[in-house]
Structure 1
Amino acid sequence: MSLSLIFDMDGTLFQTDKILELSLDDTFDYLRSLDKWNGATPIDTYREIMGVPLPKVWETLLPNHSNKDRELMNDYFLKRLIENIKNGKGALYPHVREVFSYLKEKNCSIYIASNGLTAYLHAIVNYYHLDQWVTETFSIQQIESLNKSDLVQTIVKKYRITQGAVVGDRLSDINAAKDNQLVAIGCNFDFARKDELAKADLVIDDLLELKKMLPNLSK
């Protein structure tokens, strides 16, 4: 029976931190140019909520702004993220390619399930040529509920997955695994929180650790 691994993107495969502050600063500079923001860019607030869908991000960062303003900033932020990715300012986490190659050699299926938007995810996958290993990339945009558990359920049903794991750094990833009877592997990376990782079945500090875990996941 083949094993399936479903990976989160931000903070798990992609070092979002390298382009996050840059893109967010660009976006709030634009908001300042419209005379709709004073003060510093709320980067710390964003770090606290990393992993939630972008519509919820803007509700948090711009609580007193109109939905029209939030949509405008969402679109501008997405544009800046994609441009920074294409300009090579981001990076994958160490060993992503090595681990993906190993998993494919072991006949594992690889998927990506992310709260990121489709265009953003495609920019990363295309720039780093991840599609040579990844069967399909799924965005939270594909489901109405904006719930990571429902997104993973979509993958499980489409590919009839009965054995596998969800690999991610936040509670939404851990819950998505458990809600779909998969192993929850927490990544103790940049945006991870100890209280959330405590709920995972397994915790890794480096993606390379997945190679050693694979035999046990297959049992």
Structure 2
Amino acid sequence: MERLKELYNKIGNNSICFLFINKNKNKKIGGIFLSVLLFDLDGTLVETTRLSIPIIHAEIKNYPHLKVPNPKKIQSAFGLPHKEFWELLTPDATEQEVRMISERSEKELLESLKTENVLLPYAREVLTELKRRGHILSTASNCSTAYLNEILNSQQIKDLFYEPLCIERVGGRKKKDILLAHFQHLNKSDAFMIGDRSSDIEAAKAHHVPAIACHFGYAEDGELEDADYHIYCLKDLLEIFN
């Protein structure tokens, strides 16, 4: 009961009637299905490459023996866990060099986010409306805890999410580990994974939940073919979860 009270306080007064129908497998109440919507961040809700790419370039250039990756390669790394991200971009760097480049890049990016609007078109409006309709929103991102917190705070969307998680916060190695953490207290049978990379689809498949592919992010051609749903604008979610 305490868990239900906590969830009630986080998702809002208008949604309390839905908290008690999870065991009924999405029983329809008042024309609305309660769903658990797990969002990726970069390429799904936010677009930060105009900030992050110049920062990464500048930091790698501090090490003349390292090849500076082109913007397309950096963009292709978005969505990867931290270790894989830097292995792709700086394959010849030592562990210490990777640590320094990573820490300095993140520090500068977090500072830049404080004064920048990086939300994708309609993100705030769609999230607000989905929550108003009674759906539970949370995050599942392969980012650091500091980055997750800065995005939620600087973009003023923290209050829209219930217990937002990222790979660092759960101590995971793959995105499926984030979903596993969510499903310790959220109903898996009501869940959808929403993201723009194959890692989002793979995480959804690992837990047998539907994947919604966002075709406005960083995916390569054909990368999202295995998704269960396909959207081309965030507003499309309002049609799926009407």
Q: Work out whether the TM-score is over 0.5.
A: yes
| TM-score, with length taken from structure 2 | 0.81
User: Contact 2:59–2:101 at 8 Å: present in 1 too?
Assistant: yes
Q: 1:81 aligned to 2:109?
A: yes
In the alignment, the residues of structure 2 paired with residue 41 and residue 174 of structure 1 have an alpha-carbon distance, to the nearest angstrom, of: 26
* Largest Rg, 1 or 2: 2
User: Contact 1:156–1:162 at 8 Å: present in 2 too?
Assistant: no
Q: 1:19 aligned to 2:58?
A: no
Q: 1:64 aligned to 2:96?
A: no
Query: Which amino acid counterpart does residue 78 of structure 1 have in structure 2?
Result: E
Moved more, 143-152 or 117-126: 143-152
| Matching residue of 1:149 | 176
In the alignment, the residues of structure 1 paired with residue 158 and residue 171 of structure 2 have an alpha-carbon distance, to the nearest angstrom, of: 25
| Matching residue of 1:98 | 125
Q: Offset at 1:158?
A: 2.6
In the alignment, the residues of structure 2 paired with residue 208 and residue 118 of structure 1 have an alpha-carbon distance, to the nearest angstrom, of: 27
Change (3 A) 1:144 1:97: closer
In the alignment, the residues of structure 2 paired with residue 104 and residue 87 of structure 1 have an alpha-carbon distance, to the nearest angstrom, of: 26
Contiguous gaps of at least 5 residues in structure 1: none
Match runs of 1:105-116 below 5 Å: 105-116=132-143
| Matching residue of 1:139 | 166
In the alignment, the residues of structure 2 paired with residue 62 and residue 151 of structure 1 have an alpha-carbon distance, to the nearest angstrom, of: 26
Q: Offset at 1:129?
A: 1.3
Contiguous gaps of at least 5 residues in structure 2: 1-20, 22-33
- Per-residue Cα deviation, 1:39-84 (whole angstroms, up to 9, x for no partner): 5443322222221012211112221221111111110111121011
User: Contact 1:55–1:74 at 8 Å: present in 2 too?
Assistant: no
In the alignment, the residues of structure 2 paired with residue 194 and residue 64 of structure 1 have an alpha-carbon distance, to the nearest angstrom, of: 28
User: Contact 1:24–1:41 at 8 Å: present in 2 too?
Assistant: no
Q: Offset at 1:169?
A: 0.1
| Matching residue of 2:241 | 214
In the alignment, the residues of structure 2 paired with residue 147 and residue 199 of structure 1 have an alpha-carbon distance, to the nearest angstrom, of: 18
Q: Offset at 1:177?
A: 1.4
| TM-score, with length taken from structure 1 | 0.89
Query: Which amino acid counterpart does residue 182 of structure 1 have in structure 2?
Result: V
Moved more, 71-80 or 156-165: 156-165
% of aligned pairs identical?
Answer: 28
In the alignment, the residues of structure 2 paired with residue 173 and residue 6 of structure 1 have an alpha-carbon distance, to the nearest angstrom, of: 10
Root-mean-square deviation over aligned CA pairs: 1.7
| Matching residue of 2:72 | 44
Runs of 4+ in 1 over 3 A off after TM superposition: 39-42
In the alignment, the residues of structure 2 paired with residue 158 and residue 77 of structure 1 have an alpha-carbon distance, to the nearest angstrom, of: 34
- Per-residue Cα deviation, 1:151-174 (whole angstroms, up to 9, x for no partner): 111112232342121110001101
In the alignment, the residues of structure 1 paired with residue 194 and residue 109 of structure 2 have an alpha-carbon distance, to the nearest angstrom, of: 23
In the alignment, the residues of structure 2 paired with residue 43 and residue 139 of structure 1 have an alpha-carbon distance, to the nearest angstrom, of: 25
User: Contact 1:10–1:16 at 8 Å: present in 2 too?
Assistant: yes
- Per-residue Cα deviation, 1:122-163 (whole angstroms, up to 9, x for no partner): 111001111121112211113444100111111122323421
| Matching residue of 2:144 | 117
Q: 1:198 aligned to 2:225?
A: yes
Q: 1:182 aligned to 2:209?
A: yes
In the alignment, the residues of structure 2 paired with residue 16 and residue 111 of structure 1 have an alpha-carbon distance, to the nearest angstrom, of: 20
Aligned residues: 210
Query: Which amino acid counterpart does residue 20 of structure 1 have in structure 2?
Result: S
